[in-house]
Amino acid sequence: MAVFCGIDWSDDHHDVALVDDQGTTLTHLRISHDVAGFVELLEVLAAHGDSAEERIPVAIETDHGLLVTALRATGRSIFAINPLSVSRYRDRHSVARRKSDAGDALVLAHLLRTDMSAHRPLPNDTDQARAVAVLARAQQDAAWDKVIAHNRLRAVLHQ
């Protein structure tokens, strides 16, 4: 039995859903954004058949962050899915336009179950590539912070 994992990422917690190859929801849980939450996630994955020989693939809406880095270190396939794509898949599972974190985790798991071949897993990076990515993200964040600070200053001066 194949199992697929979807994770709806958030700043302070993550919703996780597991489905089997028939589309049956195996579990749903909310984990904290810390080491304890990551350990809980690994325990749930192991309880549903995750092993060194056969890792459960994970779909998540981001390609960076501590959770993604930790998951990548486990050697599993990680699929970073664009949030707009998740929104489109959400429409397949519910006519209600309401978004929920638990629902998005389930949508992500089903997305892998039905269309994994249409998405690319994150590539395995070298240590040097990971270092460049960290520096590039820091540069990007600094540029964004500069623009935000400039806009705030302009708004204060305008008042």
Best CA proximity match to 108, nearest among 67, 62, 46, 54: 62
Best CA proximity match to 83, nearest among 8, 159, 158: 8
Query: Is residue 120 pLDDT above 80, yes or no?
Result: yes
Query: Is residue 40 pLDDT above 90, yes or no?
Result: yes
Rounded Cα–Cα distance for residues 101 and 83 (Å): 12
pTM above 0.85, yes or no: no
Average pLDDT over residues 34-59: 92
| Each residue's pLDDT tens digit, 72-93 | 888 889 999 988 888 777 766 6
